[in-house]
Amino acid sequence: MSVQVRRAGTDDLDRLVPLFDGYRRFYEQEGDPDAARNFLKARLDSGDSVILLAEHDGEAIGFTQLYPLFSSVRMARIWILNDLFVDDSHRQRGAGRALLEAAQTFAEDDGAAALQLETQRTNSVAQSLYTRLGWEAPDDTIWFNLPLDDSERGRQRADAPFGIGN
């Protein structure tokens, strides 16, 4: 299967929203296409994130969303690969790999020091892909999470993952 990946813009919202909403539902969040559209539009309009869109024969089949961050120790930019999603009907056909490779190219071209992601311990399929592509899980690092908002506005269950590269 031939997958093309490109940077998405606000003109892609109609194609991104179903994917983003599906991604959130995968993580047991309530579907809300209107809120998804508003969230994505705000990220794109403000430049808060970079969204890469995977397409096959003109159909939007997946996306990844990257957020910038800075390492004080490295004195360099790092990109967080926060979201990675491929539609069920296109999984195991190279779209995830294409999105990860496009994210790497983007980060390298941007002069970033690293890409980072987080995944669930039980997501062995994704972990296998990450490892094959050269990603490493540091043995000397433990990530902690301090939930600040599990009100309706936050729409985040206290036990739900943040979704970073899940």
For the whole model, what pTM was predicted? 0.85
List per-block mean pLDDT (blocks of 10 residues) for the chain, which spans 166 residues.
Answer: 94 98 93 96 97 96 97 95 94 93 98 93 89 89 83 52 50
Assigned CATH topology for domain 4-132: Aminopeptidase (3.40.630)
pLDDT tens digits, 116-162: 998 888 888 889 999 999 999 888 888 788 989 766 555 554 455 55
Q: What is the pLDDT of residue 139?
A: 82
Contact 71, 78 (CB under 8 A): yes
- DSSP assignment of the chain: ---EEEE--GGGHHHHHHHHHHHHHHTTPPP-HHHHHHHHHHHHHHTS-EEEEEEETTEEEEEEEEEEEEETTTTEEEEEEEEEEE-GGGTTTTHHHHHHHHHHHHHHHTT-SEEE----TT-HHHHHHHHHTT----TT----------STTTT--TTS---TT-
Contact 76, 70 (CB under 8 A): yes
Domain boundaries, the chain: 4-132
